[in-house]
Amino acid sequence: VEPVLSKGNNCLDAAKACNLNDTCKRFRSAYITPCTSSTSNEICNKRKCHKALRLFFDKVPPKHSYGMLFCSCRDVACTERRRQTIVPVCSYEDREKPNCLTLQESCKKNYICRSRLADFFTNCQPESRSVSSCLKENYADCLLAYSGLIGTVMTPNYIDSNSLSVAPWCDCSNSGNDIDECLKFLNFFQDNTCLKNAIQAFGNGTDVNVWQPILPVQTTTATTTTASRLKTPGSETTNNEIPNHNDSPACANLQVRE
């Protein structure tokens, strides 16, 4: 078989690459299984699906996990595949769409969700005057924070097949007096130039320089727990890939299993 890497579908190419890598293949199947197994009265066990999704993004090197989640697309076959990455019918969609502020409240009750949402708001904060459109000028941290939300109640996904707009499974109906606050929250997902640029930059394999601060914008925002999940890219960032920080834990796991 000649490994034909067609130009058309980067998401398909990323899926192929994943299945040729033992770690990615293993953790991919490990979430596809619970996310597609229906139980007696439910479409799946959402809790197990979320847990396995978190494990996938924690253990699989970003080259592979982001490759499938942030692949760049030119046609619907590609964007649909990209939308299916997290198995949205189980991990994302629900019978009812809650109000986003209600969803935020339930997120705050959970330690993982609360800290990852805080990371997301910190690291994907848009800033129109900066080169990258990000206040933090660090795409890698924004992508890490965004992907960190997958597997929490705040799990985001692409909302349509023609754009990079994303949102958690919620809307702002029945917001009452809090409508402005709700829309602000929702638009941080849906209409976030920092996040869109970060996804685009990964998909195109461009803009490596923006991952490192060029002209840091003055900021008083406190550093968050993102640092413990991914060290800020250092000198090893010479190619277009996000540093492969997860190799050692993944290998350690493999050895234990053997």
Partner 1 sequence: KGRRNQKSKNRGCVLTEIHLNVTDLDLGYETKEELIFRYCSGSCDAAETTYDKILRNLTKKKKLVTDKVRPACCRPTAFDDDLSFLDDNLVYHILKKHSAKRCGCV
**Footprint on this chain of partner 1 (rule: CB under 8 A):** 1, 3, 9, 12, 15-16, 19-20, 22, 25-26, 28-30, 32-33, 35-36, 80-81, 84, 87, 251, 254-255, 258
Q: Could you tell me the two tokens for 38?
A: 């229906």
Residue among 80 and 105 whose Cβ is closer to partner 1: 80
Please name the residue ranges forming H helices in 159-258: 179-190, 193-204, 226-229, 247-257
β-bridge mates for residue 252, sequence order: none
Contacts 24+ apart (CB under 8 A), 105-110: 106/153, 107/152, 107/153, 107/154, 110/152, 110/153
Cα separation, 221 vs 86, in Å, equals 31
- Please report, to the nearest 10 degrees, the dihedral formed by the alpha carbons of residues 64, 238, 140, 206 taken in order: -80
Cα separation, 249 vs 253, in Å, equals 6
Residue among 22 and 94 whose Cβ is closer to partner 1: 22
Residue among 9 and 155 whose Cβ is closer to partner 1: 9
Contact (Cβ atoms closer than 8 angstroms) between residue 243 and residue 231 = yes
Residue among 13 and 137 whose Cβ is closer to partner 1: 13
Query: What is the smallest separation between the CB atom of 112 and partner 1, expressed in angstroms?
Result: 25
Residue among 19 and 106 whose Cβ is closer to partner 1: 19
Query: What is the smallest separation between the CB atom of 6 and partner 1, expressed in angstroms?
Result: 9
Query: What is the smallest separation between the CB atom of 191 and partner 1, expressed in angstroms?
Result: 27
Query: What is the smallest separation between the CB atom of 245 and partner 1, expressed in angstroms?
Result: 17
Query: What is the smallest separation between the CB atom of 37 and partner 1, expressed in angstroms?
Result: 9
Residue among 161 and 193 whose Cβ is closer to partner 1: 161
Query: What is the smallest separation between the CB atom of 12 and partner 1, expressed in angstroms?
Result: 6
Cα separation, 5 vs 162, in Å, equals 23
Contact (Cβ atoms closer than 8 angstroms) between residue 212 and residue 132 = no
